[in-house]
């Protein structure tokens, strides 16, 4: 890959409200031990009633601006990866453009569920490398609590809300992007969906209108079989092996799933970062939140090689190998 783009800054935000496993014990028939044993999740953050995806995105961008030497005034595109946009239209990205009064900035929402952030990075890298843009904000954000059925204990224990933003800018001398891989297994869409204008998928009438519906067993089986192969595909046309990867950062769906993926790929769980323990599954936000946590813990350093791998509803997937090289912190 002949990239000319670098990830130069990152910011994140999670809502103030915390929903613990003990809180869920009062809502559905479950308990803390059962949830932790099966998912690794201890708590998740929940957006306020009038707090939406755009609000989380704005806070994540502000956090990025406060943390790094980055000016967003000359940003020429905003990409928001989300499945929970404030509106069908206008786009969430347009809401951000209006909030920050960025006069010459394009705005698009990208829908690739839990793979949205990695797809967004691939799109940003392609547009900058092609010379069409110079500075792009990529955000992964979701408020899954607003489409979660809190009478369904198989899903309500999993999901939370959050946002992560990165700046991707043209840099021919120190590009971040080394290789990428993406695809889709559309036949598996029936295993993870939310109804929309249509309530029928492949001849099957869908249920629980308006809420997220997941066949956890089928998604788990697909992920643990697919992701280890996909990790190798990301590295296929490079000089890198899994042993050269400093940190593996997959979509934080479920800790048991991540453990199985690491076991099957023979990749050490100790070099794997995830954000699910205190944030739950935040869909498109899980990977940037995991990166932020790794930075906060002084694990990720400039010069490290990160293998990012998003996967989820669609069923879609996108992986990236990147060299981490942020601007200096303020």
> Which one of 251, 254, 262, 279 is the catalytic residue?
251
Please give the order of strands across the beta sheet that includes 135-143. 5-13, 161-170, 135-143, 77-81, 106-110
Whole-number Cα distances in Å, 282 to 73, 123, 136, 314:
28, 21, 22, 16
- Let me know if 305 is a catalytic residue: no
- Let me know if 156 is a catalytic residue: no
> Which one of 21, 63, 254, 281 is the catalytic residue?
281
The token pair at 321 is 């190998």
Q: How far apart are CA 113 and CA 16, in angstroms?
A: 23
Q: How far apart are CA 228 and CA 118, in angstroms?
A: 16
Phi then psi for 70, rounded to 5 degrees?
-135, 135
- Let me know if 251 is a catalytic residue: yes
What is the C-alpha R_g of the chain? 19
Strand partners, 165: 11, 139
Strand partners, 13: 163
Whole-number Cα distances in Å, 87 to 49, 80, 167:
15, 13, 24
> Which one of 21, 57, 63, 114 is the catalytic residue?
114
Residue-by-residue DSSP string for 222-273: HHHHHHHHHHHHHHTTSS--GGG-SEEEE--S-HHHHHHHHHHHT--GGGB-
Q: Of 249, 231, 226, 229, nearest to 312 (Cα)?
A: 226
Treating both helix axes as pointing N-terminal to C-terminal, what angle do 116-129 and 286-296 enclose, rounded to 10 degrees? 90
Which amino acids are annotated catalytic?
Answer: 114, 251, 281
């Amino acid at each position: 890959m002949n990239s000319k783009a670098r990830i130069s800054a990152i910011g994140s935000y999670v809502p103030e409200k915390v929903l613990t496993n003990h809180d869920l014990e009062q809502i559905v028939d479950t308990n803390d031990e059962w949830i932790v044993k099966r998912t690794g999740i201890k708590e998740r953050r929940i957006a306020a009633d009038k707090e939406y995806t755009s609000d989380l995105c704005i806070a994540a961008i502000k956090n990025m601006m406060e943390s790094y030497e980055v000016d967003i005034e000359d940003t020429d595109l905003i990409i928001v990866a989300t499945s929970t946009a404030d509106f069908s239209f206008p786009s969430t990205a347009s809401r951000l453009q209006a909030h920050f009064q960025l006069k010459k900035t394009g705005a698009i929402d990208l829908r690739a569920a839990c793979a949205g952030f990695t797809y967004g990075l691939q799109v940003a890298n392609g547009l900058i490398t092609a010379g069409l843009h110079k500075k792009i904000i990529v955000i992964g954000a979701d408020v899954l609590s607003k489409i979660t059925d809190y009478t369904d204990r198989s899903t309500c224990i999993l999901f939370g809300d959050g946002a992560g933003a990165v700046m991707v800018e043209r840099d021919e001398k120190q590009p971040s992007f080394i290789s990428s891989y993406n695809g889709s297994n559309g036949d598996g869409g029936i295993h993870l969906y939310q109804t929309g204008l249509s309530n029928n998928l492949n001849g099957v009438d869908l249920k629980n209108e308006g809420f997220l519906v997941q066949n956890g067993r089928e998604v788990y089986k697909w992920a643990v079989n697919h992701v280890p192969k996909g990790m190798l595909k990301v590295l296929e046309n490079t000089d890198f092996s899994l042993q050269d990867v400093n940190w593996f950062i997959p979509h934080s769906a479920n800790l048991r799933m991540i453990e199985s993926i690491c076991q099957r790929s023979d990749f050490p769980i100790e070099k794997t970062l995830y954000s699910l323990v205190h944030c739950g599954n935040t869909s498109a936000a899980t990977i940037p939140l995991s990166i932020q946590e790794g930075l906060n813990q002084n694990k990720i350093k400039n010069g490290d090689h990160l293998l990012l791998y998003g996967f989820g509803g669609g069923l879609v997937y996108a992986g990236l190998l990147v060299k981490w090289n942020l601007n200096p912190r303020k």
